[in-house]
Amino acid sequence: MSARLFAHAACLCSFFGASPLLAATAADLPPPRGCDVIAAGAPARAATTVQTTVFPPPQLDMRTPLEPTVLAGTGRNYLLYELHLHNFSDEAMTLRGLEVLAGSERQALLALTAAQLRQRVRVAGASSEEGAAQLAGGQGAVVYLCLAFDASAAVPATLRHRLLLDGALADGPPIGTRHTPLAVLGRPLQGTGWTADNGPSIDSHHRMGVFVAGGMAQLARRYALDWKKYRDGSMFAGDARDVRSYHAYGENVLAVADGEIVQARDGMPDNIPRTPAGFTPAVPISMENVAGNVVTIALANGQFAQYAHLQPGSVQVKTGQRVRRGQLLGRVGNSGDARVPHLHFQVASNPDILASEGLPFLFDQYRLKVAENAWEARAREYPIGDGVIDFGTP
């Protein structure tokens, strides 16, 4: 597939993000862009049908490489996943819409128009990052889907997908919604003022960063978060080109669970942070050093917790060492493919930070800022949205 499909694909970086949001309650935080709310008791919509079937049926392959898992996220239940499309015919197919159906039901949970679908599609070889409404013969694409169920809305055990084409429908195979055992993790950081940036939005290079390595297209950063710290709406005070000006820089990074260290690397220098004047990494970026100074912990169920861009000289552990939850691993830095100091944290299917599948996870507890001096306790959730997070004092 064309490299254009994978814009920002190799970038673990973090740019200057928006200021954190406040909300009356967690459920009042808006879902990320590209996440469609499924409300409890919403009027059902009959799925689209056709009067006659065509032969041969549309030669459109529809696959979901990693089935989703219901994920509690800041007041809603989320399903994040992708449809990989491949047009096996020699004729173009125009994508007129997409319907998501619950199991064997004939009613659509979600119906996307052509314009809405276009925002969520990245077509191989397309020049626009918003994809295209048409798949040429032999062409592939990825549809990035995010369903945000209200807390009282039932999440079906299986989903089906129906693509609306010109004069035909293409039905995909059913997929499950309980695929991955959810790791419930401790805090990766301590203190307050943290924001989980670059979460599962169609504006995020994490969410849209399908990456091919070893002959496989995977999405290691599907659930990755860039932890930044803001004060008075800014990530830094002073010289924007000095890493020490950034509020997150040098903060302690903690083990989220007991486990074995399977990767620990130190010695890469910090980058000078990106400013309007530009950005050049301290050393050329490669597959081997894209994460910078990095620590990876083997969790249960074949899952791995990965911490990237740590401060040079701060890594406190070695490969093969056993660690305990809450143990100091290192400090927040700006090494590797990082533009500003932050902690890149993700859980994945193997220790390679790009050549793996990103997996969902929960934090056992944290507090969410809901007003200027008010906080709401959250438990067993994944922090979705740009809220301010308090992980507690040391």
CATH number of domain containing 305: 2.70.70.10
pTM of the model: 0.91
Is residue 26 a part of any domain in this protein?
no
Residue 25 placed within a domain:
no
Q: Are residues 166 and 197 in the same domain?
A: no
CATH of residue 103's domain is: 2.60.40.10
- CB neighbour list of residue 104: distance below 8 Å, 6 or more residues apart: none
Please tell me whether residues 240 and 342 are part of one structural domain.
yes
Residues 216 and 161 placed together within one structural domain of the fold = no
349 and 234 in one domain? yes
Residues whose CB is less than 8 angstroms from the CB of residue 152 and which lie 6 or more positions away in sequence, other chains included: 40
pLDDT band at 216 (very low <50, low <70, confident <90, very high): very high
Q: What is the mean pLDDT of the chain?
A: 91
Share of the chain above pLDDT 70, in %: 91
pLDDT, tens digit, for every residue of 295-330?
Answer: 999 999 999 999 999 999 999 999 999 999 999 999
The domain boundary residue, chosen from 176, 205, 224: 176
Instruction: Convert the pLDDT of each residue in 87-130 to its tens digit.
Output: 999 999 999 999 999 988 888 999 999 999 999 999 988 766 56
Domain assignment present for 376: yes
**Cis omega (within 30 of 0) for bond into 56:** yes
Does residue 233 sit in the same domain as residue 353? Answer: yes
The token pair at 199 is 């979460």
Q: Do 54 and 157 belong together in one domain?
A: yes
Number of domains in the chain: 2
pLDDT tens sequence across 243-281: 999 999 999 999 999 999 999 999 999 999 999 989 999
- Per the CB < 8 A criterion, the answer to whether 185 and 256 are in contact is yes
Domain boundary among 176, 200, 226: 176
Last residue of a domain, which of 148, 176, 204? Answer: 176
Over the stretch 71-87, which tens digit does the pLDDT of each residue have? 999 889 999 999 999 99
Band (197; pLDDT cuts 50, 70, 90)? very high
Structure-block tokens of residue 324: 């305990």
Q: What is the mean pLDDT of residues 15-20?
A: 52
Which DSSP category does 385 fall into?
S
Residues 241, 383 within the same domain = yes
Binning pLDDT at 50, 70 and 90, where does residue 366 land? Answer: very high
Residue 192 and residue 169 in one domain? no
Q: Is residue 2 part of a domain?
A: no
Q: Are residues 214 and 304 in the same domain?
A: yes
Residue 1 within a domain: no
Residues 67 and 84 in one domain: yes
Whether 226 is in a domain gets the answer: yes
Q: Which residues pair with 229 in a beta bridge?
A: 194
For 80, phi then psi, to 5°, come to -115, 125
Say what the pLDDT of residue 45 is: 82
Question: Is the residue at 212 inside a domain?
Answer: yes
Q: Is residue 278 part of a domain?
A: yes
Residue 19 has pLDDT above 60, yes or no: no
DSSP lists the bridge partners of residue 99 as 111, 162
Examine the domain organization and report whether 15 and 122 are in the same domain. Answer: yes
User: pLDDT exceeding 90 applies to what percent of the chain?
Assistant: 79
381 and 319 in one domain?
Answer: yes
Terminal alpha carbon distance of the chain:
47
Domain span at 53: 7-19+31-176
